[in-house]
Amino acid sequence: MRRSESASILHTSKESHGFTMWQYVTCLLAIMGREALRYIHQRERFISSLVRPLLWLVVFAAGFRQTLGVSIIPPYKTYILYEVYILPGLSGMILLFGGMQSSLSLVYDRELGNMRILLVSPFPRWFLLFSKLIAGVVIATVQVYAFLIIARFSGVRPPLAGYFALLPALCISALMLGALGMLISSLIRQLENFAGVMNFVIFPAYFASPALYPLWRIKETSPTLYHICLLNPFTYAVELIRFSLYCQINWTALAAVCGYTLVFLGGAILSYDPALGLTMRRQNFS
């Protein structure tokens, strides 16, 4: 038998037709399970994800309550305490750190070689990367709810229905920030460079947003900074969360978050595409 003939016989005899829906679900659950296990193993990560916003809420907000007055702006119908104002921003902060944590986790995976095991799976690459993002979304969302429960005990009490209305806003915002983290991970060569992400992504995104002060205040102080804030995707995540917490929809924020999500997601999937090879070539295999 000639080689070409034998190859073609094997081709037809072993031909299969992709994966079933159940196999996709199993794969998704396995990726989520692994991320959850990693999260459980890193107890300090869970604690710090709660302590960080609580410090802002309890210490920072208490100190600035008298300094930073907040006028009546939607979705609020009356004057509010500063703690109430920064609650959505702090929820967004958890998502932002969560997204960047996924970026760190991807770089870590790449350095240890675990990423290669994921990428040589026969499932479509977009699905594998999307599953990673979904795992990050679930973990970040759980963190936000844990924070909101503690905040409620400390006296910051949005309407109960808001906790339910918040869920879709949290998911889409976490997806956007996770996709941004994934995109960033493709640009980071080594784990050590992650400190740069803190300085050039997290802090600017957080401070140039309505997380700590309303945009009208920024506009009064610096129109340029105001316009920068309008370009900041985190701005819209915070506003989407703020309105959802009061059972309202900020359509501009929703459209912006959806748009940014698509852009970041597309960029992240492209960056892990072997045809571009941005991610793996950075490892300089010989």
Query: Interface residues with other proteins (CB under 8 A)?
Result: 1-3, 6-11, 14-16, 18-20, 22-23, 26-27, 29-31, 33-34, 37-38, 41, 112-114, 116-124, 128, 273-277, 280-281, 284-286
Closest to other proteins by CB, 6 vs 221, is 6
Specify whether the CB–CB gap between 247 and 162 falls below 8 A.
yes
Specify whether the CB–CB gap between 66 and 146 falls below 8 A.
no
> Cα-atom radius of gyration of the chain, to the nearest Å?
22
Give Cα separations from 36 to 41, 43, 128, 150 (angstroms): 9, 11, 16, 22
Minimum gap (Å) between residue 133 Cβ and other proteins: 16
Minimum gap (Å) between residue 108 Cβ and other proteins: 11
Minimum gap (Å) between residue 180 Cβ and other proteins: 24
Of 24, 188, 179, the C-alpha closest to 110 is: 188
Minimum gap (Å) between residue 114 Cβ and other proteins: 6
Closest to other proteins by CB, 38 vs 65, is 38
Of 109, 285, 72, 254, the C-alpha closest to 186 is: 109
Closest to other proteins by CB, 66 vs 286, is 286
88 burial type by CB count under 10 A (0-12 exposed, 13-18 middle, 19+ buried) = buried
Closest to other proteins by CB, 8 vs 222, is 8
Tokens 């009490």 found at: 157
Minimum gap (Å) between residue 39 Cβ and other proteins: 11
Closest to other proteins by CB, 19 vs 145, is 19
